[in-house]
Amino acid sequence: MKNKIRKIVEDNTSRKGKLFDFFIQALILSSLVAFAIETLPNNSNQTIELLNIFEIICVVIFTIEYSLRIYVAKKPFKYIFSFYGIIDFLAIFPFYLTRAYDLRALRAFRVFRIFRTLKLVRYNKALNRFHIAANIVKEEIILFLIITSIFIFLASTGIYYFENEAQPEIFTSVIHSGWWAVVTLTTVGYGDVYPITVGGKIFTFFILLIGVGIVTIPAGLVASALSKAREIENQSN
């Protein structure tokens, strides 16, 4: 019995497995649409009641799915603490939490229903390739984030010394200057904070040049990793 259920739940190459996947995908998308409708300000009592009933149905089915995945998993605890296991848990946990405790503050946990979008990752080959690619370049990404953090600090410090005297209310400290550094290095440039001194403008020019590189490096890493992920996928098939 366990093997039969495993083939349906985990093997999406069989007919029953595909039907199961399509059903769960359709339910996820429907629950997200219902969540969006629920936020409308002028819903009637009947609409609210129907949405609540549909939410209960979704949670019951997702709970059954979660329980089945634990049941058929060769290493249940490995699944529970895996990326997919945590996402599956977050998709249902807020519902039971808000039902168990009648506290208004706990209603904020309902926002975790948006994590159901991540459940779709399991059912999409292209998204699975992103998961493989992330594992391939995780060390490079970590190094990139460390270097980016260093550049943000250096940029914050530099612009502070150039602009503090001219704009003390904006560039109050290195910490306050961090917003300008983030916006400039990412080449967003909102225009709400900008240098007015000659030194600050020249410094900004060089930071923008560095920012162009910071924006393009992750794209190159991800592109090469996705290419490698496709090769791995083809070899496994």
- Separation CA 168–CA 172 (nearest Å): 5
Mean pLDDT of the chain: 82
pLDDT of 84 > 90? The answer is no
Q: Where in the chain is the domain with CATH 1.10.287.70?
A: 129-236
Q: What is the mean pLDDT of residues 76-103?
A: 78
Instruction: Name the residue with higher pLDDT: 226 or 200.
Output: 200
According to CATH, what is the number of the domain 129-236? 1.10.287.70
**What pLDDT, on the 0 to 100 scale, is given for residue 107?**
46
pLDDT band at 106 (very low <50, low <70, confident <90, very high): very low
Q: What is the mean pLDDT of residues 173-180?
A: 91
* Structure tokens belonging to residue 29: 């998308």
Q: Shortest CA distance to 183 belongs to which of 211, 148, 153, 145?
A: 211
Domain with CATH 1.20.120.350 in the chain: 2-123
Q: What percentage of the chain reaches a pLDDT higher than 70?
A: 85
131 or 207, which is more confident? Answer: 207
Q: Pick the residue with more confidence: 164 or 129?
A: 164
Task: Confirm or reject CATH 1.20.120.350 for domain 2-123, answering yes or no.
Answer: yes
Residue 118 binned pLDDT confidence (cut-offs 50, 70, 90): low
Between residues 173 and 235, the one the model is more confident about: 173
Task: Judge whether 30 and 50 are in contact, CB under 8 Å.
Answer: no
For residues 134 and 232, give the distance between their C-alpha atoms in angstroms, rounded to a whole number. 13
Closest CA to 125 of 19, 15, 236, 218: 236
